[in-house]
Amino acid sequence: MADKIALDKKTLGALSSETKVNILKSLDIRRMTASELSKKLNLPKSTIHENLKRLIDADLVKKNDDNNTNRVYYELTEKGITILHPHKMTKIILLLSSAALSFVGGIIEIYLFIKSTFPEEVMRGAPLYEPKYLIFGVILLSLGILFLYLLHRSRRGKATGKTITYKPLLFVRKIRTKR
* pLDDT the model gives residue 36: 92
Query: 18, 53, 85 — which closes off a domain?
Result: 85
Question: Which has the higher per-residue pLDDT, 156 or 78?
Answer: 78
Cα separation, 164 vs 167, in Å, equals 6
* 36 lies in some domain: yes
Query: 29, 53, 85 — which closes off a domain?
Result: 85
Q: Are residues 109 and 165 in the same domain?
A: yes
Q: Are residues 163 and 95 in the same domain?
A: yes
Q: Are residues 60 and 15 in the same domain?
A: yes
The tens digit of pLDDT for each residue in 67-110 reads: 777 888 999 988 888 888 777 667 767 777 888 888 888 888 88
Contacts of 65-72 with C-beta under 8 Å, sequence gap 24+, read 71/33, 72/33, 72/34
Cα separation, 106 vs 10, in Å, equals 48
Structural domain boundaries enclosing 97: 88-171
* pLDDT the model gives residue 155: 64
How many structural domains comprise the chain? Answer: 2
| 0.75 surpassed by pTM | no
CATH number at residue 17: 1.10.10.10
Q: Are residues 14 and 44 in the same domain?
A: yes
pLDDT band at 112 (very low <50, low <70, confident <90, very high): confident
